[in-house]
């Protein structure tokens, strides 16, 4: 099947792994069909040639049309966020899917399961993953079951937990499960395995254990994260802390809410490491180290947004809006949208004219006060003003900002060069809308440690005044400019 254009059914496309796999399958030119319980969740994520069908693996009737004419089916369905009874539902869904795939003449099923030695008393979560694999392999359709441990990538549940614990807690009480060995794999390598699985010669069903280059614990992963983020933390090991208590603790200090946290912790009470070299013999992939995986995840966070996040999946809870704005992984975000009668060009003209003698349109005295404080702290303050007599360009200074991206009339992004316990950006995006344009103003803060987060939340009442007033003033001024023009 190497080099062929295949017709592929992808389940789990709204999830963390599935969302990233979807874009790669489309880029390779395959004919992709997605099965989703809520198709609207995929409407803005799929390419023009991708078909999205409404359906659920628990409903056998919807699987027949979904699998009709399909060459390869990816089974990435998992119920990490579901409450009690998930094992029975997962098995029922696998039975339905396996039978429908066999009837449809599917030539291959690719399933992503979890690492774990079946000779041990595995958690219900891992036990269910293995049971689903057995059901699919018993279907008669050649099934390639990939078993992986911790996935490291911007937005993955494991990485979000590692990052939140490391960033939020100067002193950590670390129970036994933090020292259990795992074999984390970078999301890029996991996607590479899933893609190469399309073209492997497969005479029957097989289980392949995959992992990164290192075997190490959550504690070691956190220490590596801290090293790369220049954080100093104290870790105090304790002999006992039940998964239930640990999950409640995680729910308080990380984005991983208690139910997901408990299942995650239960799954890592036993080692999840690769025990054979079959992956190295079958695949051409040479996975990266945990250090490289963490670096790649952090680098990806410096892009606009992570491609997908674990909480985007319908089986997990999304991140709610709250005091302080939104949280996307490590980033803290204040996002405001407004419609205006001004054209996109008029809005961009106002946005790109901010700063210097023009001011910031709202609460200018607060901007000047912030500049004075920055000068006292040894920063650049507001002295640099802005370029005169020409349009902004990438690299220009605007008061204590630097132009980081400029794409008239759609987007302007400024990077903060004032003294801060973290990094900050201010971004404006403009899209045409009925009767004018729609402006989105986004303040993004990447805090360093507890001090960074304390700064953001302490300043948030002032941010709400300044940013709220600014986006309103921009819209009004752009509307007046268009009316006069």
Does 362 score more than 70 pLDDT?
A: yes
Q: What is the mean pLDDT of residues 147-172?
A: 83
If one counts every other C-beta atom within 10 angstroms of the C-beta of residue 118, the result is 9
Q: CA–CA separation, 380 vs 369, rounded Å?
A: 13
Listed range (113-117, 140-144, 190-194) with the worst mean pLDDT: 113-117
Query: Is the pLDDT assigned to residue 22 strictly greater than 60?
Result: yes
pLDDT bin (cut points 50, 70, 90) of residue 242 is low
pLDDT surpasses 60 at 444: yes
Residue 337 pLDDT:
92
Residue 451 pLDDT level (bands cut at 50, 70, 90): confident
How confident is the model over 152-174, as a mean pLDDT?
Answer: 80
Return the pLDDT at 158: 81
pLDDT digits (tens, 9 = 90+) for 375-427: 888 888 887 888 888 889 998 999 999 998 899 999 999 999 999 988 899 99
363 or 157, which is more confident? 363
Tokens of 361: 């349109």
Residue 251 has pLDDT above 60, yes or no: no
Residue with the bigger pLDDT between 116 and 483: it is 116
The answer for 437, left when phi > 0, alpha when psi is -120 to 50, beta otherwise, is beta
The rounded percent of the chain whose pLDDT value lies above 70 is: 85
Is residue 308 very low, low, confident or very high in pLDDT (cuts 50, 70, 90)?
very low
Q: What is the pLDDT, as a whole number, of residue 224?
A: 95
pLDDT for residue 320: 41
Band the pLDDT of 95: cuts 50, 70, 90: very high
Q: What is the pLDDT of residue 83?
A: 54
Residue 402 contacts residue 389 (beta carbons within 8 Å): no
Predicted local confidence at residue 307, as pLDDT? 44
pLDDT at 325: 76
- Domain 7-312 matches domain 326-484 at the CATH topology level: no
What phi and psi, each to the nearest 5 degrees, are found at residue 75? -110, 100
Give DSSP secondary structure letters for 379-430.
S-TTTT----SS---TT-EETTEEEEEEETTTEEEEEE-S--SEEEEEEEEE
Least confident of 4-8, 271-275, 377-381: 377-381
pLDDT of residue 382: 85
Per CATH, the number for 326-484 is: 3.30.530.20
In DSSP terms, 402 is beta-bridged to: 397, 415
Confidence of residue 263 (pLDDT cuts 50, 70, 90): low
Q: What is the pLDDT of the chain when averaged over all its residues?
A: 85
- The four Cα atoms 189, 193, 194, 196 give a dihedral, to 10 degrees, of 130
Q: Do residues 451 and 419 lie in contact, with contact meaning Cβ atoms separated by under 8 Å?
A: no
Q: Mean of the pLDDT values across residues 214-239? A: 88
pLDDT of amino acid 118: 79
Confidence of residue 319 (pLDDT cuts 50, 70, 90): very low
Average pLDDT over residues 43-56: 86
* 470-479 tens-digit pLDDT: 999 999 999 8
- pLDDT > 70? residue 257: no
Q: How far is CA 43 from its chain centroid?
A: 18
Question: pLDDT category, 202, cuts 50, 70, 90?
Answer: confident
- Comparing 186-190, 309-313, 416-420, 440-444, the range with the smallest average pLDDT is 309-313
- pLDDT of 468 > 70? The answer is yes
Q: At the fourth CATH level, which superfamily is domain 7-312?
A: NAD(P)-binding Rossmann-like Domain (3.40.50.720)
Confidence of residue 316 (pLDDT cuts 50, 70, 90): very low
Q: Read off the DSSP letter of residue 156.
A: -
Across residues 278-285, what is the average pLDDT?
94
Q: What is the pLDDT of residue 47?
A: 84
Place of tokens 């491609």: 307
Confidence band of 133 (pLDDT split at 50, 70, 90): very high
Which pLDDT does position 306 carry in this prediction?
41
Q: Which residue has the higher pLDDT, 467 or 156?
A: 467
DSSP β-ladder status, 422-433 and 436-447: antiparallel
Where are the domains positioned within the chain?
A: 7-312, 326-484
CB 111 within 8 A of CB 135: no
User: Model confidence at 315, in pLDDT bands (50, 70, 90)?
Assistant: very low
pLDDT confidence band for 452 (50 / 70 / 90): confident
pLDDT at 314: 45
């Amino acid at each position: 099947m190497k080099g062929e254009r295949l017709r592929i059914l992808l389940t789990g496309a709204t999830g963390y792994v599935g969302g990233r796999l979807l874009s790669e399958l489309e880029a390779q030119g395959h004919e992709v069909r997605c099965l989703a319980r809520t198709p609207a969740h995929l409407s803005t994520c799929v390419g023009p040639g991708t078909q999205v069908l409404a359906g659920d693996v628990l409903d056998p009737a919807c699987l027949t049309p979904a699998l009709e004419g399909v060459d390869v089916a990816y089974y990435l369905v998992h119920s990490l966020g579901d409450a009690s009874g998930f094992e029975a539902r997962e098995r029922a869904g696998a039975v339905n899917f396996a039978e429908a795939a066999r009837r449809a003449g599917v030539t291959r099923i690719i399933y992503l399961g979890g690492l774990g030695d079946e000779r041990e008393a595995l958690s219900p979560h891992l036990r269910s993953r293995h049971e689903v694999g057995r059901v699919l392999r018993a279907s008669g359709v050649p099934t390639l079951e990939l078993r992986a441990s911790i996935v490291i990538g911007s937005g993955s549940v494991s990485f979000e937990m590692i990052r939140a614990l490391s960033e939020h807690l100067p002193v950590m009480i670390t129970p036994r499960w933090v020292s259990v060995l795992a074999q984390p794999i970078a999301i890029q390598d996991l996607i590479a395995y899933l893609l190469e699985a399309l073209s492997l010669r497969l005479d029957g069903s097989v289980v392949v254990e995959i992992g990164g280059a290192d075997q190490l614990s959550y504690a070691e992963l956190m220490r590596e994260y801290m090293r790369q983020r220049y954080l100093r933390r104290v870790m105090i090991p304790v002999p006992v802390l039940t998964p239930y208590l640990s999950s409640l603790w995680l729910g308080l200090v990380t984005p991983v809410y208690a139910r997901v946290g408990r299942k995650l912790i239960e799954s890592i009470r036993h080692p999840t490491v690769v025990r054979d070299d079959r992956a190295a013999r079958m695949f051409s992939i040479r996975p990266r180290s945990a250090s490289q995986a963490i670096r790649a995840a952090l680098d990806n966070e410096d892009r606009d947004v992570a491609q997908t996040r674990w909480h985007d999946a319908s089986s997990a809870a999304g991140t709610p809006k709250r005091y302080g704005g939104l949280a996307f992984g490590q980033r803290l975000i204040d996002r405001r949208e407004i419609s205006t009668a001004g054209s996109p060009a008029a809005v961009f003209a106002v946005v790109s004219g901010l700063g210097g003698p023009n001011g910031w349109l709202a609460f200018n005295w607060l901007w000047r006060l912030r500049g004075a404080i920055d000068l006292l702290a040894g920063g650049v303050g507001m002295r640099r003003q802005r370029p005169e007599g020409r349009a902004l360009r990438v690299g220009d200074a605007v008061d204590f900002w630097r132009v980081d991206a400029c794409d008239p009339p759609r987007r302007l992004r400024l990077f903060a060069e004032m003294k801060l316990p973290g990094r900050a950006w201010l971004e404006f995006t403009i899209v045409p809308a009925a009767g004018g344009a729609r402006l989105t103003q986004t303040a993004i803060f990447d805090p360093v440690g507890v001090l960074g987060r304390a700064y953001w939340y302490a300043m948030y009442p002032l941010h709400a005044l300044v940013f709220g007033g600014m986006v309103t003033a921009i819209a009004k001024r752009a509307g007046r400019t268009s009316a006069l023009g």
